[in-house]
Amino acid sequence: MTGILLDTSAYSAFMKGHPEVKSALQQAAAIYLNPVVLGELRAGFIKGGRQRKNERELEFFLSSPRVSVLPLDEGTSDRYATIINALWTAGTPVPTNDVWIAASAAQHGLRILTLDAHYERIPHVTADLVRPA
């Protein structure tokens, strides 16, 4: 496996010890997140009761030389527009944040590692769907 874009559900599953997610991350040459994923994670940290612990774990994860945060830019917005319009036309809504994650993956030619099946409905991206443990 080459580079993958980790979505929020996959990061959370990894932190809970999900064996399939752990294996996929071990095999990946490079692991990417984007600001949308980081925002979703941090919103969950604030809502939960272990914010400091979760932030420390995230910072440790991000410090790995194999992990990078991709920027969102004009190219991402172009792909977002294409994807969201295709979803509207098909009548297959997907959460907006996940469309941004998909647009980022499409922009950088990455597969998405996720537990969310709705990524399979998004055109122009490939998702590696893992089932909850």
111-114 and 67-69 beta bridge pairing:
unpaired
Q: What is the pLDDT of residue 132?
A: 78
Per-residue model confidence as pLDDT tens for the chain (133 residues): 479 999 999 999 999 999 999 999 999 999 999 999 999 999 999 998 899 999 999 999 999 999 999 999 999 999 999 999 999 999 999 999 999 999 999 999 999 999 999 999 998 899 998 987 6
> What are the residue boundaries of the structural domains of the chain, listed by start?
4-129
Measured in whole angstroms, the distance separating CA 50 from the mean position of its chain's CA atoms is: 22
Secondary structure (H, E, C), 36-103: HHHHHHHHHHHHCCCHHHHHHHHHHHHCCCCEEECCCCHHHHHHHHHHHHHHHHHCCCCCHHHHHHHH
| pTM, 2 dp | 0.93
Q: What is the CA radius of gyration of the chain?
A: 14
Which CATH fold would you assign to the domain 4-129?
Rossmann fold (3.40.50)
